[in-house]
Amino acid sequence: MQSKYYELKNAVQVSGSQGLKIPSARNIATAIQSNRDYQVIDLLSHSEDGSLKYEYIVVDVECDEVLPNNSPGIEFKERLALRVSKDPRKLVEVLALRKDFPILMHQNQVPYNSPASLCLYFEPAVSVMRTWTPHKFLRRIQWWLINSANEELHVADQPLEQLFFQSIYELVIPIDFKDKKSKNFIAHRSHQRLNGGFSFILTEDMSTQSNVNLLYIELPTIVHDRIEGEPQNLGELQQILSNRQIDLIEHINSSVAQLVDANGIGIDKDNNQAILLLRIPISRDQDNGPERITYRAFLFLKGVYELGYNTGALIQHDGKYYQYTPIADQAPSTLDWENLPLLPMQVLWENNHDSARLQSGISEKGPKSALIGVGSLGSALLNLWHRSGWGHWTIIDNDHIKPHNLSRHTAFFCNIGQPKVDAVSELQAASRRDTEVQPILADATDLDTTISERLSDLDLVIDASTTLEYPRIASNIDKYPRHASTFVTHNGCSSVLLFEDESRTIRLRTLEAQYYRALIQNKWGKDHLGGVTSTFWSGAGCRDISLVMPYSSVLVHASNLAEQIQIKTINKEASICIWERNSKSGEIAIHDIEPHKENCIQKDGYSVFYDDGIEETIKELRQQQLPDETGGILLGYFDLNINTIVIVDVLPAPPDSKGSKSSFERGVSGLEEQVQEASKRTAGIVTYIGEWHSHPDDCSTALSNDDIVQLSYLAEKMKEDGLPVISLIANKDDLGIYIGELY
């Protein structure tokens, strides 16, 4: 009479628990002696090449809480084999020896028609072993049996499992596979991994060496019930699907026949391998449509046409394969297709824009954007955004990769001499094939018609050029979209983000000025732009000087900036943010500056910009000295490229100043030091640009005779540098701005 239990092949008996040589096996046997629900049936050992590999403890285990005739088919008493590996890092495997033991969820992968292996733990083995004991292990087995019998290991609303277990072999499918009307794909094989597995990459590139043909079949819907063990040959795969009323051979024959026309195909055209890819819709029950589409692949060590010849789809004649056509005197091939070996393959999909965002926890698709400058910071930002699927990018830069760039750039040695935009876009395409990075090799400040139109059609432009030219020019172009500017300071300690509001009422030019004012007025601004340790010559020219800065400093700031820019893109308000990092402790201080509204007057061919913060400060200083007049100097900068004067800060009257109800005479005490400090803190950008003073409530902001004399005197002084000078007059309600310039 045939036994109801599987036989453990190549295992020999061990005489008593003292004969067990593996310590864990002896400990389990000892624990069983004190557990009345377990009875030892047999002790066995398994050796390979003369070396002990496993020891088995065959037991009968009883579970009082397993109800009779439960739906899954778990019995009150089950015979199990506890397989203990000689490798102490491996968990003890539990095999259900009953041949009709149900195949349920939470079982380990085993060969087809082998004892079921119970999946007792959800954690990796190394985690389980931290608290594993033989006594807890025995209770865990009973827990699995009881919960499986009660159908509580796999809750009703849990997503449906795939039909087959995972495999160490993989087939990677292109993201556009579903959209291709023609499935003329081939596959190429990757390097073999340490566990013996390998990946096949599906592609339409016929020039790839070691091509493998693909046979793609869409199966009818299968009702979800259990995960199958892996078939070892085509006959076992046919049986698995036949149990679900699917004739796989019929599908194979139909698909292969479509590959061969009436002219046949040469036998020598066949490859020596073929991949069968199955699309398997899975439903929860017979009354509902498919809830999940799963894919499974199998590798045959025969070409697709030879496979069809074996299954009877094709015949051989005169060195060619032809479709089999039933006629009276000819039958299809009767070769032993059932025993054709196959390797099950897990199917993986290439990442695309949506899956990258899902894996990165990003809900927003991101704007249509341009990145100006793809140097060290820009390339790092783009790499982070592209890999996370955020944004659709146009990148603009006119520089190329030089050898010294590789110390802190995403480029590689093979990119030396290549335009940065091309190198960076190619690298992004190498990380994901649906890349949406459009490179433009140009200087964004040239305002070429093509660039201007391209930028005007976007949602956001991010300047990472680390220069002043582009953000200042872009601030003057009304048709441009919202802009942000970001950079890492020369000392590598801080990063800065200037972000316009959505309607661009506060533009980069005034955010830049307010950033400088924050440096001048706050203690943390003293060394913010200083502390550059050293530079190095990166070429032969006198301008080929680069800063010494570790790539780690760039990346730590880039990671933070990438996240913050994503957040602030959703926020409609303008912002000025500075992150100051202590490289020794890693501590980061955040300086968040509230932006003020921008104001502008056109005067004598110049655009003079100031913000509400300037006006508020002047009015407050004026109010403090009423009824006397007061004044001081203006700090700011000139940009003669765009005929712009920007007021950055207002200094109050020095202590040696003299003011009355009708006049004001500015002193000089400490003033030179203040101007020098402001210039130092802003890397020489901010300097003296003019004077301001107040008028009484009943006076206008018009220039008095004394004011005209003063303005002429100041213009004479500034003429030495070829620069104009500003005179600002404030009364109760208004500001008057005047420019003096001598040619």
Query: pLDDT tens, 489-498?
Result: 988 899 999 9
- Amino acid of residue 736: G
- Looking at residue 157, its pLDDT comes to 41
CA–CA distance, 550 with 559 (Å, rounded to integer): 15
DSSP string, 408-444: GSS--GGGTTSBHHHHHHHHHHHH-TT--EEEEES-G
Whole-angstrom CA distances from 488 to 108, 171, 274, 508 are: 51, 42, 53, 17
Tokens 């003299």, residue? Answer: 658
CATH architecture of the domain 11-149 equals Roll (3.10)
Which residues, other chains included, contact 71 with Cβ-Cβ below 8 Å and sequence gap of 6+? Answer: 151
- Looking at residue 182, its pLDDT comes to 52
Name the band, by pLDDT with cuts 50, 70 and 90, for residue 389: very high
Name the band, by pLDDT with cuts 50, 70 and 90, for residue 156: very low
pLDDT at 128 over 70: yes
- Looking at residue 152, its pLDDT comes to 84
| 740, 712 Cβ separation under 8 angstroms | yes
Do 11-149 and 598-740 have matching folds? no
- 392-397 and 437-441 strand pairing: parallel
CA–CA distance, 63 with 287 (Å, rounded to integer): 35
Domain 598-740 in CATH: superfamily?
Cytidine Deaminase, domain 2 (3.40.140.10)
Name the band, by pLDDT with cuts 50, 70 and 90, for residue 162: very low
Name the band, by pLDDT with cuts 50, 70 and 90, for residue 484: very high
Which residues, other chains included, contact 390 with Cβ-Cβ below 8 Å and sequence gap of 6+? Answer: 357, 360, 362, 364, 365, 366, 566
- Looking at residue 201, its pLDDT comes to 87
Q: SS3 sequence, 521-586?
A: HCHHHCCCCCCCCCEEECCCCCCCEEECCCHHHHHHHHHHHHHHHHHHHHCCCCEEEEEEECCCCC
DSSP string, 72-137: T---SEEEEEEEEESSTTSPPEEEE-BTT----SSEE--BTTS-EEE---SS-HHHHTTT--HHHH
Per-residue tokens: 399: 């520089």
* Highest mean pLDDT out of 130-144, 296-310, 704-718: 130-144
Q: What is the mean pLDDT of residues 296-314?
A: 90
Domain ranges in the chain?
A: 11-149, 170-349, 355-593, 598-740
CATH T-level fold of 355-593: Rossmann fold (3.40.50)
Whole-angstrom CA distances from 647 to 497, 513, 686 are: 20, 7, 9
Higher pLDDT, 176 or 366: 366
pLDDT at 352 over 80: yes
- Looking at residue 466, its pLDDT comes to 82
Name the band, by pLDDT with cuts 50, 70 and 90, for residue 205: low
pLDDT at 160 over 50: no
Give me the chain's average pLDDT, please.
88
Q: What is the mean pLDDT of residues 122-127?
A: 86
- Looking at residue 547, its pLDDT comes to 67
What are the two backbone dihedrals, phi and then psi, of residue 253, each rounded to the nearest 5 degrees?
-60, -40
Q: What is the DSSP letter of 66?
A: S
| 649, 633 Cβ separation under 8 angstroms | no
Give percent above pLDDT 70 in the chain: 92
Per-residue tokens: 686: 């901010």
- Amino acid of residue 631: G
Which residues, other chains included, contact 58 with Cβ-Cβ below 8 Å and sequence gap of 6+? Answer: 8, 40, 41, 42, 43, 44, 79, 80, 81, 82, 97
Per-residue tokens: 6: 């599987």
CA–CA distance, 242 with 245 (Å, rounded to integer): 5
Q: What is the pLDDT of residues 373-384, one digit of tens each?
A: 999 999 999 999
- Looking at residue 568, its pLDDT comes to 96
Per-residue tokens: 503: 């309607």
Tokens 């091509």, residue? Answer: 211
Q: What is the pLDDT of residues 213-222, one digit of tens each?
A: 888 999 998 8
Q: What is the pLDDT of residues 20-43, one digit of tens each?
A: 999 999 999 999 999 999 999 999
Q: What is the mean pLDDT of residues 250-272?
A: 89
CA–CA distance, 330 with 308 (Å, rounded to integer): 16
- Looking at residue 228, its pLDDT comes to 65
Which residues are paired to 295 by β-bridges?
Answer: 279
Tokens 């009877």, residue? Answer: 312
- Looking at residue 206, its pLDDT comes to 57
- Looking at residue 214, its pLDDT comes to 86
Give percent above pLDDT 90 in the chain: 59
Q: What is the mean pLDDT of residues 179-201?
A: 75
pLDDT at 1 over 60: no
Per-residue tokens: 310: 């074996």
- Looking at residue 226, its pLDDT comes to 60
- Looking at residue 108, its pLDDT comes to 79
- Looking at residue 110, its pLDDT comes to 75
Q: What is the pLDDT of residues 314-344, one digit of tens each?
A: 998 899 999 987 754 555 555 788 999 988 8
Q: What is the DSSP letter of 272?
A: S
Cα Rg of the chain (Å, integer) = 39
- Looking at residue 540, its pLDDT comes to 38
Q: What is the mean pLDDT of residues 346-363?
A: 88
